[in-house]
Amino acid sequence: MYGLDTNVLVRFLLRDDIIQAEQARAAIDWAVKNGTTVIVSLLTILETEWVLRSCAKLEKNKIVTVFRMLLEVRELQIEQEEVLEEALYLYENSKADFADCLLSARYSRLGCSAMLTFDQKASQLAGNKLLPLDIVG
């Protein structure tokens, strides 16, 4: 089993360095051909979103499209794919940052009743709670 580093995934997705993009594609193809699973972790996804937004200057809708296309790549296994799918839905339908959407989706899948936050936008996601809590009693 192989895990992809963020820089490999970014080259694979953006093809902004043709040589490295081809090396990334060739490595993935070789692994799959030889029966080796290639995994993309949620941490890699999180870092990749930062690169796509901050360095590649992609807009939110383009980032969502890139990640949805990534979910369709047969050769790659996304860690907890359902968490990414939920995070993309939250991100697309809110003003919260992608990181907060990913955290919220992950906590939800872990069985948490809420994510506590000081972030106003993150607190608008269903089930999240803005601190300080209004505790009665």
Every domain of the chain and the residues it spans = 2-79
Helical packing angle, 18-33 and 6-14, nearest 10°: 110
CB atoms within 10 A of CB 137: 2
- The per-residue pLDDT for 26 is 97
pLDDT tens by residue, 73-123 = 999 999 999 999 999 999 999 999 999 999 999 999 999 999 999 999 999
For 121, residues 6+ apart whose C-beta sits below 8 A from its C-beta are: 94, 95, 96, 97, 100
Alpha carbons within 13 angstroms on the beta-carbon side of residue 73 total 21
Q: Summarize the confidence of residues 121-134 as an average pLDDT.
A: 91
Q: Summarize the confidence of residues 13-27 as an average pLDDT.
A: 97
The least confident of 12-16, 56-60, 101-105, 129-133 is 129-133
116 vs 103: CA distance, rounded Å: 11
What pTM did the predictor assign?
0.91
- The per-residue pLDDT for 127 is 86
- Residue 24's pLDDT band, with cuts at 50, 70 and 90, is very high
3-state secondary structure of 2: strand
- The per-residue pLDDT for 137 is 45
CB atoms within 10 A of CB 38: 19
